[in-house]
Amino acid sequence: MTNSAEFDPDARIDAERGTYDIQNDGVPSEERQSGTAGLPTEDHVPQETIEAIERERAERLDPDNRPDDAEVDNTDRTFDVETGKFTDSEGYDQAEKQYTTEDQA
């Protein structure tokens, strides 16, 4: 992995954007294409590091730790507009249909 002390400013491809041409840094094309350029292989990552990353990810994704106003992707869920609940929500089976899409005249 190239650290900042080894950064070659002459290898920049776009000085305004601050991008770096990893092709000129000897990185194999398969690493450039997969987005793993400079990262160690999974075999070279200590098990403790993998476990720490998995714990951190689980904590970060826990709904109880979600910040206020966080965007949540519910595209895989079905929303029932008449009950105002997702069909997989707790209590959906007992929920009354209190909302309608018809005009109340």
Q: Where do the structural domains in the chain lie, given as residue ranges?
A: 1-39
Other C-beta atoms lying within 10 Å of the C-beta of residue 25: 15
User: Nearest Cα to 63, choosing from 40, 90, 84?
Assistant: 90
Looking at residue 24, its pLDDT comes to 53
Report the predicted TM-score, pTM, of the whole model to 2 decimal places: 0.34
Other C-beta atoms lying within 10 Å of the C-beta of residue 41: 7
Which residues, 6+ apart, have CB-to-CB distance to 19 below 8 Å?
12, 13
Looking at residue 54, its pLDDT comes to 92
pLDDT in tens, the chain (105 residues): 455 545 555 555 555 555 555 555 666 666 666 666 667 777 788 889 889 999 999 998 888 888 888 888 888 899 999 999 999 999 999 998 888 766 655
| pLDDT mean across residues, the chain | 75
